[in-house]
Amino acid sequence: MVNLLEMSRRELEGFFAGLGEKPFRAKQVMRWVHATRIGELAAMSDISKALRQRLGELATISAPTAISDTLAEDGTRKWLFRIDGANAVETVYIPEAVAGEDCSAEPGAGGIGRGTLCISTQAGCALDCAFCSTGKQGFNRNLRTAEIVGQLWHADRVLEPRGAGLAAISNVVLMGMGEPLANLEQVLPALEIFLDDAAYGLSRRRVTLSTSGIVPAIDRLREACPVALAVSLHAPTDSLRDQLVPINRKYPLAQLMAACQRYLEKAPRDFVTFEYVLLDGVNDRVEHAQQLLRLVAELPCKFNLIPFNPFPKAPFRRSPRAQMLVFQKVLLDAGIVTTLRKTRGEDIDAACGQLAGKIFDRTQRTARSTSLEAQS
């Protein structure tokens, strides 16, 4: 059985060609599955009964099952999706985000009625960034395309529209659990579906992919499906970033900055967003901000400063707000657009860096960490 949630229009056209059907069937079915968001093939009323019966024998519409649905005081909503018998991932919906609070915001756009969905792409994460709860849980597997798209499909079905003709979700960010560029084979078809006018019809400017800096995959994304790019930077020097973001040891800052410059040649925006979690006494001093200015001197960019969101046994503290504002001012005074993200959904552990889900940890990272603590 093929899962219609994981098939791009191009793949659907091939599927229907194999059935002896015309290519227009692909667009027709995509509209039913994604735009209308039906869950039953029998509901496709403008498709012949014979074809519906044949589809029923060959295809299914199967999304991850939501096993919990939690609402924060600020309206942020978090779902826990079961993806198999051992693993679950989290997805977060942030309603009415104000422009400048997150990297998905359109420059100059108002925040009224916008809704942002933060999607996961892996069960856990293998990159082990020092300040991220997800990375501390270990890693099990990549999500399949249907499991990525299914998060948006489910959210779109259960959320109230923002108004006449306006879907609840206007922006999608691949910033949930996992490193999207480590799962590019499954992420690329998902991006195609998000952008397809017969499905969700999102513009490339309203889909943001966040990466810790896998340089070859940034180049591949640039060629295959350039969407808005956000880079988890978090440090201005290789020595510090090696500690906070271990992938930097393989792809150091010089290579990363060069890849960002190349990406801009085809990006839907004329800047790269750098995400920067502020850690008290670690990366939040004036000298760090000045080092950042030197690092990005030749690169059009904006900074999205993020207060650290604590999790159990985290070795860091959130920078005092006064220090965050001093740090922001250094960048602003140099003419760089710099926003300080408002923490959303913290009371339900839905804030940046807090997503944990439930995974079978094949890396055994949690077990190794527990063992080391017992020995110390």
Nearest Cα to Cα of residue 135 among 174, 178, 173, 184: 178
Chain-centroid distance, C-alpha 41: 29
Nearest Cα to Cα of residue 179 among 223, 131, 106, 231: 231
- Residue 231, classed as helix, strand or coil, is strand
Q: For residue 83, give Cα distances in angstroms to 175, 190, 357.
A: 18, 16, 11
Which token pair is 226?
């350039």
Which token pair is 284?
């939040």
162 contacts: CB under 8 Å, gap ≥ 6? 113, 114, 115, 168, 170
Alpha helices in 226-363 (DSSP H): 238-244, 253-263, 286-295, 321-333
Whole-number Å distance between alpha carbons of 176 and 356: 9
For residue 116, list its beta bridge partners. Answer: 94, 171
Whole-number Å distance between alpha carbons of 223 and 154: 29
To the query of whether residue 90 is one of the catalytic residues in this protein, the response is yes
Q: β-pairing, 272-278 with 228-232?
A: parallel
To the query of whether residue 346 is one of the catalytic residues in this protein, the response is no
Q: Choosing from 118, 125, 260, 352, which is the catalytic residue?
A: 352
Q: Choosing from 6, 13, 90, 275, which is the catalytic residue?
A: 90
Phi then psi for residue 244, to 5 deg, are -85, -35
* Residue written as token pair 């084979």: 185
Catalytic (active-site) positions: 90, 352
